[in-house]
């Protein structure tokens, strides 16, 4: 059969339309509005619980510490976008708080009320502060567009929270965070028990990559803290970067005293093994300075030297400490076997459009943002969550406002100390079973702390029944939490 | 349309060579950076900050391979409907399939390195198919007499 020229052209046009039309449809369907509430995102997942019967709604920004309580620790942090000099002399274009990056270390004693006024001097996109690992009241979480509007240039915002948990934490901007955290808008936060943390020397080792080079406490290469032989030392390691960081110690055996701001139970002495710190995660190491006088805490390319004298850089040990079986068992204090809600957080990846941009994007339970699940809970629920990663890459998962206990990995039950996390490294092919108590009303981001991944859609939310979302993603404040 | 088809096909073939060049450039830069004391780990890899200038090669490889080449291959397919090249559509479809496979192999290479090995081999399939498509489009296929008849 021979077709006329016109018929041939028509067939060609039809074929072209058949190729282009589905692509155009998917593209169009992926576009998100300029402003939307997270409450309207995706699908509400009640995790097997009864869907919402909250009689009244309280907006998330009213979940605060009573205003009449006097602050114990009070300071102002002024954010700026500028070129600055690292403690080691290198110049860097990024962000500062009170003129430096990392920002000042905030210290509080357990139970004190911390009040931080954030002022934005010159960050055009706006800023916020998120208290990473601290289970602050709902209004104080610092997630732009979720719990507050981004603080524009010349504006300010007051954060108030009670430092209930003793441990190592950090703070960072949660507005355009994949750029602002990378650029240094962050700092350490240490909360100590009233009786002290039980060490003669306490030191911070906050690791951050400036321009792809790892620094410790803002110094290239090495930082040093004074200690005498025989001193017990607690080193608070903070990983502010987007990937897991191996930490190993030369010169003394050590114990992992705490993970993500929670003390471990019965941690044994470790020698010849590295400890991995997830992106956003923290570990506290405790050791005794030996007679030789120096201990080197290696942070993969940077190091903290404790004591006097030199210690050369070393290769990381092959063995890695498995926290699933580290320390001794103790009651976790929640009925994980009889949860009120059970959720799945399956991470995948597929081709498609993300707000009109083609690529291979992350999926949560098979759907791409904004069709991600909204995990819905009621106050007091015991929640179990299975995080399964089949996306081809590792994801450090960070749940705001809560600490979860690890029950099992790949169906192998945890046998060590209760392992409470807020930042959990979930490698490709791994499945974690975690549990937590929904005891902190609010709207909480539950996302990958490899922050560019969050910007690529790897974000879900945990929402309490009866909590309203008055803020908008986008909108006049230009809120972009990721 | 025949000329457009040929140009697109040859551009895709040239893109494959560029892809290899970007990787070689970036890996050479990485080696020099490590020699100068740089430490590569997960955090550096995941950081969007570029630790050494040649790392731009990795980014270009990703953007080129996941965005530009697939778009070119799609355009080639659409053009092939109009270009009246014998076997032109078939070659464009095969090329598009190779490109899709190549993207998956590139991404799977993050899970198991063996996929990276195949990624290198399939690159030659993409190159060969694109080159052949362009080469074959040189001579016009004889038009059937009826189609040439004045309207």
pLDDT in tens, B77-123: 999 999 889 999 999 999 999 999 999 999 888 888 999 999 999 99
Nearest CA in chain B to A350: B104
pLDDT band at B150 (very low <50, low <70, confident <90, very high): low
Q: Which residues of A touch B74 (CB under 8 A)?
A: 19, 23
Task: Write down the pLDDT at residue B40.
Answer: 86
pLDDT band at B143 (very low <50, low <70, confident <90, very high): low
Q: Determine contact: B50 vs chain A, CB below 8 A.
A: yes
Cα atoms found within 13 Å of the Cα of residue A338, Cβ hemisphere only: 2
| A242-263 pLDDT, tens digit each | 999 999 999 999 999 999 999 9
Task: Write down the pLDDT at residue B140.
Answer: 64
Task: Write down the pLDDT at residue A22.
Answer: 92
Average pLDDT over residues A10-15: 92
Residue with tokens 């055996």: A253
Residue with tokens 């897991």: A244
Burial class for A316, CB neighbours closer than 10 Å (0-12, 13-18, 19+): middle
Token reading at A91: 């110049």
Q: What is the spatial distance between Cα A70 and Cα A233, in angstroms, rounded to a whole number? A: 33
Nearest CA in chain B to A277: B43
Chain A closest-CA separation from residue B110 CA (Å): 6
Least CB–CB distance from A360: residue in B38, B52, B107? B107
> How many CB pairs (< 8 A) connect A and B?
103
**Cβ-based interface (< 8 Å): residues of A facing B:** 2, 4-5, 8-9, 11-13, 15-16, 19-20, 23, 178-179, 182, 207, 209-214, 239, 241-246, 279, 300-301, 349, 351, 358-360, 392-394, 428-429, 450, 452
SS3 B91: helix
pLDDT at A139 over 90: yes
SS3 B72: helix
Residue A463's contacts (CB-CB under 8 Å, 6 or more residues apart) are A38, A39, A44, A374, A375, A376, A377, A443, A444, A469
Q: Determine contact: B144 vs chain A, CB below 8 A.
A: yes
Q: Which residues of B touch A212 (CB under 8 A)?
A: 38, 44, 47, 49-52, 55
Chain A closest-CA separation from residue B101 CA (Å): 12
CB neighbour burial string for B31-65, b if at least 16 within 10 angstroms, e if fewer? eebeeeebbebbbbebbebebbebbebbebbbebb
Residue length, chain A? 482
A71 φψ region: left (φ > 0), alpha (ψ -120 to 50), beta (else): beta
Task: Write down the pLDDT at residue B147.
Answer: 54
| B32-75 pLDDT, tens digit each | 998 888 888 888 888 777 788 999 999 999 999 999 999 999 99
Average pLDDT over residues A298-309: 94
Chain B closest-CA separation from residue A180 CA (Å): 12
* Cβ separation A8–B147 shorter than 8 A: yes
Least CB–CB distance from A245: residue in B43, B81, B111? B43
To the nearest whole number, what is the mean pLDDT of chain A?
94
Cα distances from A381 to residues A42, A282, A439, in angstroms, run 22, 27, 8
SS3 A297: strand
Chain B closest-CA separation from residue A373 CA (Å): 25
Q: What is the spatial distance between Cα B147 and Cα B127, in angstroms, rounded to a whole number? A: 34
Q: Which residues of A touch B67 (CB under 8 A)?
A: 358-359
Token reading at A327: 């320390």
Task: Write down the pLDDT at residue B49.
Answer: 76
Chain B closest-CA separation from residue A98 CA (Å): 23
Q: Which residues of B touch A301 (CB under 8 A)?
A: 38-39, 41, 44
Residue A286's contacts (CB-CB under 8 Å, 6 or more residues apart) are A199, A232, A233, A234, A235, A254, A255, A257
CB neighbour burial string for B82-92, b if at least 16 within 10 angstroms, e if fewer? bbbbeebbebb
Q: Which residues pair with A398 in a beta bridge?
A: A423, A447
Chain B closest-CA separation from residue A392 CA (Å): 5
Q: What is the spatial distance between Cα A394 and Cα A407, in angstroms, rounded to a whole number? A: 19
Q: What is the spatial distance between Cα A129 and Cα A177, in angstroms, rounded to a whole number? A: 10
Q: Which residues of B touch A392 (CB under 8 A)?
A: 107-108, 110-111
Q: What is the spatial distance between Cα A323 and Cα A339, in angstroms, rounded to a whole number? A: 24
Q: Determine contact: B113 vs chain A, CB below 8 A.
A: no
N-to-C CA span, chain A: 58
| A390-406 pLDDT, tens digit each | 999 999 999 999 999 99
Residue B19's contacts (CB-CB under 8 Å, 6 or more residues apart) are B61, B64, B65, B69, B123
Residue A312's contacts (CB-CB under 8 Å, 6 or more residues apart) are none
Q: What is the spatial distance between Cα B81 and Cα B79, in angstroms, rounded to a whole number? A: 5
Average pLDDT over residues A410-414: 97
Q: What are phi and psi of B150, to 5 degrees?
A: -60, 140
Least CB–CB distance from B74: residue in A5, A19, A359? A19
Q: Determine contact: B117 vs chain A, CB below 8 A.
A: no
Residue A466's contacts (CB-CB under 8 Å, 6 or more residues apart) are A52, A54, A55, A56, A57, A58, A378, A441
* Cβ separation A452–B51 shorter than 8 A: no
pLDDT at A53 over 70: no
CB A20 within 8 A of CB A429: no
Q: What is the spatial distance between Cα A423 and Cα A394, in angstroms, rounded to a whole number? A: 13
Q: What is the spatial distance between Cα A219 and Cα A90, in angstroms, rounded to a whole number? A: 9
């Amino acid at each position: 059969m021979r077709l006329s020229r016109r018929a041939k052209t028509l067939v060609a046009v039809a074929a072209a339309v058949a190729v282009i039309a589905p692509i155009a449809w998917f593209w169009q369907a992926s576009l998100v509005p300029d402003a939307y509430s997270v409450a309207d995102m995706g699908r509400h997942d009640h995790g097997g619980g009864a869907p919402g019967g909250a009689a009244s709604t309280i907006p998330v920004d009213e979940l605060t510490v009573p205003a009449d309580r006097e602050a114990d620790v009070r300071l102002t942090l002024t954010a700026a976008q500028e070129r600055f000099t690292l403690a080691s002399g290198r110049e860097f274009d990024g962000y500062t708080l009170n003129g430096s990056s990392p920002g000042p270390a905030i210290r509080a004693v357990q139970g004190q009320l911390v009040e931080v006024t954030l002022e934005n001097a010159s960050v055009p996109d706006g800023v916020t502060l998120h208290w990473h690992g601290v289970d602050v009241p709902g209004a104080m979480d610092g997630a732009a567009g979720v719990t507050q509007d981004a603080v524009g240039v010349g504006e300010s915002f007051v954060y108030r929270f009670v430092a209930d948990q003793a441990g190592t934490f950090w703070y960072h901007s949660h507005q355009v965070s994949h750029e602002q955290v990378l650029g240094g808008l962050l700092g350490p936060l240490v909360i100590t028990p009233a009786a002290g943390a039980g060490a003669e020397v306490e030191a911070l080792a906050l690791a951050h990559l400036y321009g792809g080079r790892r620094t410790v406490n803002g110094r290239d290469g090495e930082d040093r803290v004074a200690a005498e032989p025989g001193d017990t030392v607690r080193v608070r390691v903070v990983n502010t970067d987007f990937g897991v960081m191996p930490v190993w110690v030369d010169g003394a055996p050590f114990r992992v005293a705490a993970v993500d701001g929670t003390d471990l139970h019965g941690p044994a002495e470790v020698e010849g093994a590295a400890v991995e710190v997830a992106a956003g995660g923290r570990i506290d190491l405790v050791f005794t300075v030996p007679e030789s006088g120096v201990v080197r805490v290696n942070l993969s390319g940077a190091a903290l030297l404790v004591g006097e004298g030199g210690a050369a850089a070393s290769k990381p040990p092959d063995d890695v400490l498995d926290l699933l079986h580290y320390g001794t068992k103790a009651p976790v204090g929640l009925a994980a076997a009889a949860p009120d809600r059970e959720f799945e957080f399956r991470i995948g990846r597929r081709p498609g459009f993300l707000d009109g941009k083609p690529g291979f994007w992350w999926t949560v339970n098979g759907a791409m943002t904004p069709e991600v699940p909204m995990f819905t809970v009621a106050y007091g629920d015991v929640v179990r969550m299975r995080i399964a990663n089949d996306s081809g890459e590792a994801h450090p998962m960070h749940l705001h406002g809560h600490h979860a206990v690890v029950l099992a990995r790949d169906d192998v039950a945890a046998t060590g100390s209760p392992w409470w996390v807020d930042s959990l490294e979930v490698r490709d092919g791994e499945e974690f079973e975690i549990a937590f108590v929904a005891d902190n009303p609010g709207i909480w981001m539950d996302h990958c702390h490899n922050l560019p991944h969050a910007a690529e859609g790897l974000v879900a939310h945990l929402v309490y029944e009866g909590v309203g979302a008055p803020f908008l993603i986008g909108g006049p404040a230009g809120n972009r939490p990721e | 349309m025949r000329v457009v088809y040929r140009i697109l096909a040859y551009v895709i073939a040239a893109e494959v060579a560029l892809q290899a060049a970007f990787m070689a450039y970036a890996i050479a830069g990485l080696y020099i950076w490590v020699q100068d004391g740089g430490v590569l780990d997960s955090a550096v890899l995941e950081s969007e900050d570029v630790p050494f200038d040649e790392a731009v090669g990795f980014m270009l490889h990703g953007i080129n391979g996941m965005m530009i080449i697939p778009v070119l291959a799609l355009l080639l397919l659409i053009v092939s409907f109009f270009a009246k090249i014998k076997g032109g559509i078939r070659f464009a479809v095969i090329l598009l399939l190779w490109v899709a496979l190549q993207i998956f192999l590139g991404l799977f290479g993050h899970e198991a390195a063996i996929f990276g090995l195949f990624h290198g081999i399939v690159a030659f399939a993409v190159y060969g198919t694109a080159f052949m498509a362009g080469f074959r489009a040189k001579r016009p296929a004889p038009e059937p007499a009826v189609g040439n008849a004045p309207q």
